[in-house]
Amino acid sequence: MEEMTLIFGHKNPDTDSICSSLVHEILDKKNGWKNTKAVRLGNVNKETQFVLDYLGIEAPELIEDVKEGQTVLLVDHNEFAQSANGIEKAKILGVTDHHRIANFETSEPLYYTAKPYGCTATILFEDFKRLGHEIEKKEAVLMLSAIISDTLLFKSPTCTKYDIAACEELAKIANIDINTYGLDMLKAGTDLSDFTPEELINIDSKEFANGDYKFQVAQVNTACIEDVLQNKEAIETAMNNFMKENGSNMFVLLITDIINSNSQAIVLGDTLTFEKAFSKTVQNNMAFLEGVVSRKKQVAPIILNVL
Ligand code: MG
Ligand code: MG
Ligand code: MG
């Protein structure tokens, strides 16, 4: 068999990482590039499973690492710390992403599409348009789901007019009511009942680095912050264990209320840096972040700025 080029999003994949990988593969086929294949770097979360079930499709195959010289296409991330183990030795042919570019280096030229949109899928939507390919129902559902997820139904400050325009056009193709479908999908992701604390802090967790300083920012969506806090002590134990195992300086868990668009942060480790970044006192390992829903725009850069 001809060697496949693997397409994947970040570790602890979210809906954008999974859906955009699948859409990238569809787009490649339409472009006559047959040997690319979407894969994933971790478990499918419940929100994403809702999308796959809606379409009646399987999740991409799970991989843990990539071999030296493996050709890959990255979506929804570029930082090696968030990518597959072995990414340093892989051959990155292209990146489609909407995050800051950091700790990224290749030895050869590549395709790189970066736009400061709310979602990778919006960039792929524009690729369909630019290349003149018809968008069919399957990819329409995948892309609109990713946009709803990343922008929290357009409420995140990361959301742009391009995301809204893309989502509205995709909803027509998919014959979907954005609000009804979107709330159902987001709510599916807030069912945290059968996660252990260890699993909970890994549903959507990203590492950031500044020199030797490493910090982790995880996020869970909920309709009720208090429900999640009932398990606070066990969650903190899991966070402390994670920091020990990974040599992290700080761990921030954002418990995000998707109805009211606020986050309760649990902060462990170097709380001083957190306090400096947000001009807040951490009390009982917690700080309430009013109006904060975006790790990418409202949390990670604020911390990186003070480091
Ligand atoms: Mg993502
Ligand atoms: Mg994304
Ligand atoms: Mg996200």
The C-alpha atoms of residue 262 and residue 29 are separated, in whole angstroms, by 41
Q: What are phi and psi of 198, to 5 degrees?
A: -60, -40
Architecture of domain 5-187: Alpha-Beta Complex (3.90)
Q: Chain-centre distance of CA 29, in angstroms?
A: 24
Q: How far, in Å, is the centroid of ligand 2 from the Cα of 268?
A: 26
**Ligand 2 center–CA 121 separation, angstroms:** 8
Distance CA 203, CA 59 (A): 16
Helix (H, G, I), strand (E, B) or coil at 268: strand
- The SS3 of residue 14 is coil
- Collapsing DSSP to helix, strand or coil, 269 comes out as strand
Instruction: Quote the tokens at residue 84.
Output: 């597959």
- 146 Cα to the center of ligand 3, angstroms: 9
Whether 144 contacts 167, CB under 8 Å: yes
Q: pLDDT (tens digit, 0 to 9) for every residue of the chain, 307 residues total?
A: 468 999 999 999 999 999 999 999 999 999 999 999 999 999 999 999 999 999 999 999 999 999 999 999 999 999 999 999 999 999 999 999 999 999 899 999 999 999 999 999 999 999 999 999 999 999 999 999 999 999 999 999 999 999 999 999 999 999 999 999 999 999 999 999 889 999 999 999 999 999 999 999 999 999 999 999 999 999 999 999 999 999 999 999 999 999 999 999 999 999 999 999 999 999 999 999 999 999 999 999 999 999 9
Ligand 2 midpoint to CA 293 (Å): 14
Q: What is the pLDDT of residue 194?
A: 86
> What are the residue ranges spanned by the domains of the chain?
5-187, 197-306
Assigned CATH for 197-306: 3.10.310.20
